[in-house]
Amino acid sequence: SQKIEQNSEALNIQEGKTATLTCNYTNYSPAYLQWYRQDPGRGPVFLLLIRENEKEKRKERLKVTFDTTLKQSLFHITASQPADSATYLCASQGSSNTGKLIFGQGTTLQVKP
């Protein structure tokens, strides 16, 4: 079955460093991948979408890559700040064109001052 996997262990980094989160998918080839941010007690908030024909996408300090050979997406936050501390969810398109998303478990990022 289609599966999205993220590192369930929390990622702790020092302020100013680059955080890199990984998302791997198996058993299918999604047309796009998305990244969401979720703060405690709140709903996920969309950050970036990258399509299969795009290698890289940037938005301010965020960068996402999509490697269809490795079946992997990397999410980078450069010059990280304590305010970037949150859980980051990777999601991919499901098998049909209904807009259904398959979510990973999320990776919690903690940026220490």
Give the span between the Cα atoms of 36 and 87, in whole angstroms. Answer: 8
Closest to 79 measured CA to CA, from 38, 19, 37, 39: 19
Output the CA–CA distances (angstroms, integers) from residue 112 to 14, 39, 42, in the order listed: 5, 16, 22
Please state the closest distance from residue 91 (CB atom) to other proteins, in A. 8
Pairing type for strands 11-14 and 107-112 reads parallel
* Residues in region 56-85 near other proteins by CB under 8 A: none
* 46 or 55: CB nearest other proteins: 46
Using CB under 8 A as the binding rule, whether residue 40 contacts other proteins is answered as: no
What is the three-class DSSP state of 82?
helix
- Interacting stretch for other proteins, rule CB under 8 A, among 16-24, 56-64, 66-74, 96-104? 96-104
CB of residue 108 to other proteins, shortest distance in Å: 12
The reply to whether 28 sits near other proteins by the rule CB under 8 A is no
* Chain contacts with other proteins (rule: CB under 8 A): 4, 8, 32, 34, 41-46, 49, 89, 91, 93, 98-101, 103-106
